[in-house]
Structure 1
Amino acid sequence: MAWDLSCVDWQDRIRRGQSLMPDLPDLDVARGERAVRIFNRLRIPDIVGTPLLADACGEWFREIVMALHGSFDPVTRERMIRELFILVPKKNAKTTLGAATMLTSVLMNERPRGEFLIVAPTKEVAQLAFDQATGMIDLDRGLRKRFHIQDHKKTITYLTTGATLKIKAFSPDVMTGVKPSGILVDEEHVVAERADADRVMGQIRGGMVSQPEAFLAIITTQSERPPRGVFKGDLKKARAVRDGLVQGHTLPILYEFPPDIQKASTVPGQPAPWENPALWQMVLPNAGRSITVPRLEDDFREAKEKGLEELTRWASQHLNVEIGLALRNDRWAGADYWEAQADPDLTVSEIVARSDVIVAGIDGGGLDDLLSLTIMGRDSVTAEWLQWSKSWVMEGVLQLRKREASQLQDFVKQGDLVIVQEPGMDIEHLADTLGGVNKSGKLAMVGLDPMGVGAIVDALADRGIEGPRVVGVSQGWTLSGAIKTAERKLADGSLLHCGQPIMTWAVSNAKVEARGNAIIITKQAAGYLKIDPLMSLLNAVVLMSKNPQAKPTMAGFMRRGLLTA
């Protein structure tokens, strides 16, 4: 039976500066205290005076060491805490404390030839972890006699049991032939950007199955971009355990602001709640040791002077502020208002029911692009513009665009992106979607880039959508009016969308360029990042700006109060 690892009052605790460790009544305190004693005796090798961890580490991490090792049952040899998920900002000694934890685990281990790994996102971080671990051994005469260090193999062997601690950079061959007793993954948010991250993390977890005492420890900061892939999934799971929504074997220790502080400013020109340095102590468990708030304040001012993009990146790394939109200096102005205009209750059927007229925008290029559809309705009562989208992508794009593969897989799981195996299937799916909307009698027009759309036009005609209702929308500088219209309607609150992550991603990818008196958003400006869903929205905006009319319906008259039932 799993332990209850929830900490449902975490918001109150973090505000008061209290421990985030849940109550663990079944913990083997004696075993846990033994691990803490070993941990405390290790020294930090790259700080003047090489202080003991007993002095240089905060109590917050000693609690983690005790919980991890005290959750081991010596009779069943099963570890009740099989995973750690620690979310903590930079400069809180993650790599150093992680190396110390793994050394402690090797010394506590009873399995002959047990295998332990530290997996880092890059060779540089792997080297740092190795230097920290070997430095701790070199500073202790007793440990020097009991360990054999092989620099060329990045391997440390405990001579008493034959257990090894290996430090590796993240790659698919990490788990080749390994049956780990313990693994630490450093900076999972960086690892998650790899196309094969899901597979490798699956191998890591699968390799632990045969070892009942095995554990996986993940120590990471927030991502510099919206969370994605395996990092997003593990973060979601850890939050669910912490909040008591699910039971599991993951111990979540998440140093992040409560939602009311983490949110962005809702008043233009006003600072966000998290920008108040008086609140930073909440998410800095090692403050006063490896980091100080005054030093962070200096960095904060420098980041703010460089602009919103650098400030956003800085906040994600140093305060664990989760990024919703990757805002840049050359961002589209509408991005500043995008998140505030989300209505998660909007669906395509809801838009059809509420609207007196509907238009659609389509964008899609070659086989390595997303084929994107936007449905936009005009509310028959409030005249608000209501937006929903869906996209399709060829299966081969995930191999071609490996950098974005994990992000695209997330959109598939969320239901906003469909992967198709054969050319043409995406067009058929899109046409079927529009055919269903057309049956409402409210679809006035469909707009699309006039280049290379013959197959789409034919598919729409087969569903009864043809003639003057299918129009070409000129691209480039001629979209300047639609770009400005969309950003104004987002700013004044009259454009609502259903909060789909794929649209948030596309909006954050958009880069704006000035062309004479016009502004443009182009795929060339966005580079390898995709903006097709946003372009389909702009095509729909062009049509809705023409004030289209659909055939009046009895339902429409009733909603406006012109008829009674």
Structure 2
Amino acid sequence: MTTRETPSTEANPRSGDPRKRAAAKVLDPIRDLKLSPEVHAYLVDRGIPLPDCPPAVKTPEPRDVAGAAFDFERVDKVLAAFKALTHVSGRWAGKPLNPDPWQVAYIIAPTFGWVRWDDEAEGYVRIIRDLYVDVPRKNGKSTISSGIALYMACADGEQGAQVVTAATGKEQAKFVFSPIKTLAEKAPALKGRVKAYAEKVIHLRSASTIIPVSSVADAQHGANIHCSIVDELHVHKTPDLVETIETGRGSRTQPLSVIITTADSGKPGTIYDRKRRYIDRLAAGTIRDEHTYGVVWAADKNDPPFAVSTMRKANPGYGISPSAAYLKAEAKKAANDPAALAAFQRLHLGLRTKQTARYIDLATWRANAGDPINEADLAGRMAYGGLDLASTSDLTALCWLLPRDDDGFDALWRMWVPEDALADLNTRTAGEAMVWLGRGWLRTTPGNVTDYAYVRQSMNEDADLFDVQSVAFDRWNASQLTIDLTDDGFQMVKLGQGFASMSAPLKECKRLLMTGQKSGVPMVRHGGNDVMTWMTDNLAVATDAAGNVKPDKANAADKIDGWSAFVNAMSEAMAGTAPKKSAYEDTGLRVV
């Protein structure tokens, strides 16, 4: 690899930032600024000031991937390519386009610096293939996306690279493409090397192109994409265009898909919501994907919206772009017009204004993990069960709650998925489902539907180990399995899944978990069950006018069957010991 001169911070028109850097006050830049040791070392070695604006959300860098290495020269090369471009308007017109320290530290260096050997390519390739940047308006999104697009077409060493800029309509696509075209036309270093047309930029030596696309048909035409830039993801009403672009890069050895967006209002189920939650899960550690990297800048919901400290936190370019005066003016408008407040919070503070808060925080859940559970140590203990049969082609979950003398519980889950549905679940969980299977958190049954014979056998084996009192299940999901289990001697309890039946046990689950976090003694010891950690992150809760709650599968991010089973089991545990006779002897199954 050829070493290029590192752009001088003195030449950066933004380096004269009048703000007093908070970095000098930070005791641990790796912890407090969320920098990896490798990126921190790069910044120090190259004389780039440490940023003072860590993102609210940052996914792990792929530093633990087998064979991973951080290549300083790769980052140098990208920065040199940016430096070859020049600002085309405003007070910096004609000056080199040097990325700000925060853009280097959190976007460029992690994305382009991490590499590993690839036998097929016979060389080192980038590890990160999907970059997600979520930042409020006026923080230089178009500048950095334009620089990346031109680098990927003109300097990445890829012959015939196809770079696309994607938006939801032709005019918006041209709007995204226009800064790229202008930079290509005005950069002295690209003179004679590129041809810029109304809807295409061509790098002559490599025959690489940059074009705008606004439809699936556009994206599919000759699709062999090396890089894509998706602008303002939240305005995409369907996932079709984004998914078509991402599936059109299979023949490239180190493709890169870039999403640079502002926040949406919090509407569930959209392509923005799916991508954003994926990044949140990666950052929380509930799933792993070394090929995806993302950063999100946003204020906290409880931050005073018009405070300078809040605007600094959400806007990494504060004081430069956007200017302090601009944000102050926008804040004043929002303060004087309550109807404008939500727009200000979303566009300038990065807040998803209508998003429902997580019912159980992951920190609370993890604080109750306790020591790993050895089931043999639980032999003979009283147990209450909750069964969620769901669909025969989907997850089935069983929860056992075993009361302790301190009013807490030890909790076990059994979860089954049809073998034919495992691949889809594995895809949705970024490969974690196969890990869960190997660790015993998840089990499979043959075919494309859950074979309840496996569930029945497992429950009978558990009944030989525990003193099972009763098992609650959704009364609308009664099946032959529940009849068979009753014949086996289980007391099966039909439980309604509405607010009246679900609210008290769900609230008790939350109370115990929060008590465990506060006291340091796990009150629902789950042993760090990975599937339940994922489902806790997915959990959505519906609330009625009286403040009653229940699990809400319709609006959950993904599966929450384990939580439904948990709440069912808690209902029985709260009811206490039930008579141990067949539920059919008198009045049939007990109904709640």
- For Structure 1 versus Structure 2, the TM-score category normalised by the shorter chain is 0.5 to 0.7
Q: Aligned match of 2:210 in 160, 165, 168?
A: 165
Matched residue type, 1:183: C
Q: What is the aligned-residue identity percentage?
A: 15
Distance in 2 between residues matched to 1:196 and 1:427, nearest whole Å = 40
Structure 2 length normalisation: TM-score?
Answer: 0.61
Moved more, 336-345 or 167-176: 167-176
Q: How has the CA–CA distance of structure 1 residues 175 and 101 changed in structure 2, closer, same or farther, with 3 Å as cutoff?
A: same
Tell me which residue corresponds to 2:147: 100
Distance in 2 between residues matched to 1:485 and 1:52, nearest whole Å = 63
Q: How has the CA–CA distance of structure 1 residues 142 and 83 changed in structure 2, closer, same or farther, with 3 Å as cutoff?
A: same
1:188 and 1:231 in contact (8 A); partners too: no
Tell me which residue corresponds to 2:256: 216
1:374-398 deviation per Cα after TM superposition (whole angstroms, max 9, x unaligned): 222212x322033344544568989
Secondary structure at the aligned position of 1:373 is classed as: strand
Cα deviation, residue 540, structure 1 = 1.1
1:43 and 1:136 in contact (8 A); partners too: yes
How many residues end up aligned between the 2 structures?
A: 487
2:39 and 2:109 in contact (8 A); partners too: no
Distance in 1 between residues matched to 2:325 and 2:426, nearest whole Å = 40
Tell me which residue corresponds to 2:14: none
Q: Aligned match of 1:546 in 575, 578, 582?
A: 575
Q: Aligned match of 1:344 in 336, 359, 369?
A: 369
Distance in 1 between residues matched to 2:188 and 2:104, nearest whole Å = 23
Secondary structure at the aligned position of 1:288 is classed as: coil
Q: How has the CA–CA distance of structure 1 residues 106 and 477 changed in structure 2, closer, same or farther, with 3 Å as cutoff?
A: closer
Tell me which residue corresponds to 2:409: 385
Distance in 1 between residues matched to 2:451 and 2:373, nearest whole Å = 18
Distance in 1 between residues matched to 2:351 and 2:160, nearest whole Å = 34
1:425-463 deviation per Cα after TM superposition (whole angstroms, max 9, x unaligned): 34234334323321213221111123342322245357x
Q: Aligned match of 1:328 in 335, 356, 367?
A: 356
Report matched runs for 1:51-90 at 5 Å: 51-52=93-94, 54=96, 57-61=99-103, 81=126, 83=128, 85=131, 87=133, 89-90=135-136
2:383 and 2:467 in contact (8 A); partners too: yes
Q: CA RMSD in A?
A: 5.8
1:395 and 1:419 in contact (8 A); partners too: yes
Structure 1 length normalisation: TM-score?
Answer: 0.63
1:446 and 1:471 in contact (8 A); partners too: yes
Secondary structure at the aligned position of 2:575 is classed as: coil
Distance in 2 between residues matched to 1:226 and 1:129, nearest whole Å = 23
Q: Aligned match of 2:536 in 488, 497, 504?
A: 504
Q: Aligned match of 1:371 in 390, 396, 418?
A: 396
Cα deviation, residue 164, structure 1 = 1.2
Indicate whether 1:476 and 2:505 are aligned. Answer: no
2:288 and 2:432 in contact (8 A); partners too: no
Moved more, 362-371 or 523-532: 523-532
Distance in 2 between residues matched to 1:301 and 1:442, nearest whole Å = 64
Distance in 2 between residues matched to 1:199 and 1:419, nearest whole Å = 31
Tell me which residue corresponds to 1:10: 30
Tell me which residue corresponds to 1:244: none
Matched residue type, 1:541: M
Q: How has the CA–CA distance of structure 1 residues 65 and 228 changed in structure 2, closer, same or farther, with 3 Å as cutoff?
A: closer
Q: How has the CA–CA distance of structure 1 residues 526 and 114 changed in structure 2, closer, same or farther, with 3 Å as cutoff?
A: closer
Matched residue type, 2:96: A
1:227-250 deviation per Cα after TM superposition (whole angstroms, max 9, x unaligned): 77975798799x999xxxxxx9x8
Tell me which residue corresponds to 2:508: 485
2:383 and 2:466 in contact (8 A); partners too: no
Indicate whether 1:117 and 2:163 are aligned. Answer: yes
Tell me, which stretches of 5 or more residues in structure 2 are unaligned?
4-27, 46-69, 116-120, 267-272, 517-522, 581-592
Distance in 1 between residues matched to 2:248 and 2:380, nearest whole Å = 49
Q: Aligned match of 1:207 in 242, 246, 251?
A: 251
2:418 and 2:450 in contact (8 A); partners too: no
Secondary structure at the aligned position of 2:577 is classed as: coil
* Structure with the higher helix share, 1 or 2: 1
Tell me, which stretches of 5 or more residues in structure 1 are unaligned?
242-247, 266-270, 552-565
Q: How has the CA–CA distance of structure 1 residues 230 and 474 changed in structure 2, closer, same or farther, with 3 Å as cutoff?
A: closer
Q: Aligned match of 2:548 in 499, 507, 519?
A: 519
Matched residue type, 1:373: L
Q: How has the CA–CA distance of structure 1 residues 285 and 52 changed in structure 2, closer, same or farther, with 3 Å as cutoff?
A: farther
Matched residue type, 1:58: D
